[in-house]
Chains A and B, each alone.
Chain A
Amino acid sequence: MKAFDTWERVLLALIVAVYIGFGLGIEGYLSPYALADSSYNFSEKALIALAMALLIVAGEIDLSIAATMALCSLAMGFAMRAGAPLPLMLLAALATGALCGALNGWLVTRWRLPAIVVTIGTLSLYRGLALVLLGDQAINGYPDTLSLWGNGSVGDLIGVPGLIVPIEFAVLVVAGLAVGLFLHRSVAGRRIYAIGANPIAARFSGIAVDRYRMRLFVFAGLMAALAAVLLTGRIGSTRPNLALGWELDAVTIVILGGVAIEGGRGSIVGTLFAAVLLGSFTFALGMLNVSGIVMSMIVGVLLIVSMVLPRLLRKLAWRRPAAKPA
């Protein structure tokens, strides 16, 4: 599977078009500060989208990923209330994420359940637990370091005043590189494609399919924890409705990024481009005072158009009837 193919080029062209189009139309959109600001729009979502991309390529899905984020943030908050120092708080978040992911993975591999049903169930369960534990309260008063991670720039961190790249974006770039290299340049990555394309054939060719599935779910939990740490730091509080509905945003990013929902196809480059495209696009709409709900409508339409268009073009080009619907 090529990491940079036609669809990635299309996305790149669209990103350039968005930046040039809105840059000419909106004053200040292309200023370095606005660009840095726009990255907050997609950094955390892109982090969970990376894990989601791996899962979808492997033919699975995790709809509970945003609810996992809420639980991770909650664990961090409770650790803080119990007087834990920052490293222990992070550990609490990561452990919670890994546990949530492991439960998903266990249900999927041990009981042979479809991931979509399992994670709809755990979505409800995790979000419900967050509601039970926190009620209508919020946890505030996180340490300044956490706020710096969420809001600060790399320059703040290493003491170079001019470097305004946000820390979140830097984390995303590192994570994107790591996940991209893993999927596109490692044996394990190739196997994930194989599992997604045909799990039975993959099993017969000696791949420990269930072990991969399990690890991918745990990885999704860990990425959710990472995203939760950054998001909690950025907004400075934990509420049970933290990141509500982000699972759909993450799936949208992955699908728009050219990953096939049925598994076996897609790239990390595309996923990252899609995250940047959606983030910069909605940031521009925000500068134009378009309300959030209209943005999500546009994103929904984009999602459908991005799938219909290639098929429509193929149909016109080949002049043959469409493939049988699934």
Chain B
Amino acid sequence: MKKPALFAAPALRREWLLLAIVAAIALAVGARAPVFLSWRNVLDIANDSSILAILVMGQMLVLLTRGVDLSVASNLALTGMICALAGRAWPSLGIVPLLLLACSVGALLGALNGMLIVRFGLPAIVVTLGTLSAYRGAIFVASRGAWISDQDIHPLIKGLPRETLLGLPSLVWFAAAVVALAALLLRWRREGRELYAYGGNPSAAVYAGIPVQRRLMMVYTLSGLLAGLSGLLWVGRYSIAFTELAAGYELTVIAACVIGGVSIGGGIGSVSGAVLGVLFIGVVNGALPVIQVSPFWQQAIAGAVILISVVLNARSERTTGRQILEHDALPKAAA
């Protein structure tokens, strides 16, 4: 079969293609409903996508190493609840201690995942499936099932996502900072490059002297840390903390990664692609109500898009596609 030029340089081409699709959707919707392209609506979409972008950066690091972190949404909700409880108990807390609390609780929960995966050699999908339930239940235990509603949320937590700097909401700045740091790590830092190496071929990475266990600990801890930070932001943005907060959001996070071209099989994926995946979900979710399509379509569309993008990925990466459930690198061609 002759491969068309479209797939000659898959990583680069895909991202432009995705960008074009996102732009086309935005313009098409904007043509029907000009309000969609108003600055206010753009800011709304950016705001809505920011937390997703932060989570996606963490998830991408994990996916690059052939792992998966299903516990991010539970981690987010648990950390958010702990921050809300701390804010209620000690109203004098400043924003910096709160941020530190969120990041450290999140990182701790992530490190627990990492420890179970690295120390006992357990599959990431099963460990994080377990901690998904465990962390979710811990929220109930911590809050005794009660909701923490608007009036009990620490004013600084509520205020944080509403701050603006240079005309942009602080959520967008947080996301931009996280994306920039992730790009820095993956492009210019040795630790980041080693993640690609490990994801591409775990055995070779060991022989090449990459401290595999430390890198795996790092990605799960970072994923947890970012989930924790998102928890604080989420609770602030929606002014509420309860047990079922963000339940099921881990699938949206993984969906954004997959749409953005991050391979579940590890070793493939770029920050710019992942950000476009986030934008895609943000634009589609923002567009549906504007063009009066029932929001019930959101999930079905997300599913269809995931399937289409993985099929497209498979065509361009046929030789390198691998299964997450496999332990060893096996040539796929013979199967």
Contacts and interface: CB of A to CB of B under 8 A. Distances in A.
A326 B123 contact: yes
A112 B297 contact: no
Interface string B187-218: 00000000000000010001000001100100
Contacts, number: 199
A112 B334 CA distance: 11
How big is the A interface, by class? 35 or more
A295 B145 CA distance: 13
Interface string B314-332: 1100100111111100111
Given A123-B251, A209-B335, A322-B120, A301 B134 contact: yes
Interface in B89-138: 116-123, 125-127, 129-134, 136-138
B324 A114 contact: yes
Interface in A78-107: 107
B307 A112 contact: no
Contacts of A199: 330, 335
Contacts of A135: 294, 296
Interface stretch (A23-31, A148-156, A303-311): A303-311
Most buried by A among B121, B127, B248: B121
A304 B51 CA distance: 29
Contacts of B254: 120
Contacts of B294: 132, 135
B133 A117 contact: no
Nearest to A199: B335
A187 interface: no
A59 B248 CA distance: 25
A188 B123 CA distance: 27
A262 B325 CA distance: 5
B162 to A, nearest CB: 31
B130 A117 contact: no
Interface of A, secondary structure class, is helix
Interface in A102-144: 107, 111-118, 120-129, 131-132, 135
A116 to B, nearest CB: 5
B111 to A, nearest CB: 15
B335 A326 contact: no
A294 B310 contact: no
Contact of A132 (B202, B296, B332): B296
Contacts of B202: 326
Most buried by B among A111, A209, A326: A326
A307 B123 CA distance: 10
B298 A128 contact: yes
Given A322-B119, A326-B202, A294 B300 contact: no
A314 to B, nearest CB: 10
Given A114-B324, A132-B294, A323-B121, A122 B137 contact: no
Interface string B295-311: 01111111110110011
B249 interface: no
B265 interface: yes
A112 B314 contact: yes
A164 to B, nearest CB: 32
B140 interface: yes
B141 interface: yes
B103 to A, nearest CB: 24
Given A123-B303, A261-B125, A325 B118 contact: yes
A117 B206 CA distance: 27
Contact of B325 (A61, A209, A303): A61
Contacts of B54: none
B59 to A, nearest CB: 12
16 contacts: A107-B307, A107-B311, A112-B318, A116-B264, A120-B306, A121-B255, A128-B298, A132-B296, A200-B330, A293-B243, A294-B140, A297-B138, A304-B116, A307-B120, A308-B122, A325-B216
Interface of A: 59-61, 107, 111-118, 120-129, 131-132, 135, 199-200, 203-204, 209, 245, 248, 251-252, 255, 261-263, 291, 293-301, 303-304, 307-308, 311-312, 322-326
Given A121-B310, A125-B303, A261-B325, 20 more contacts: A111-B314, A112-B318, A121-B303, A123-B303, A128-B297, A129-B300, A200-B331, A204-B334, A209-B335, A248-B129, A248-B132, A252-B130, A261-B123, A261-B126, A262-B325, A295-B137, A300-B130, A307-B120, A308-B116, A311-B122
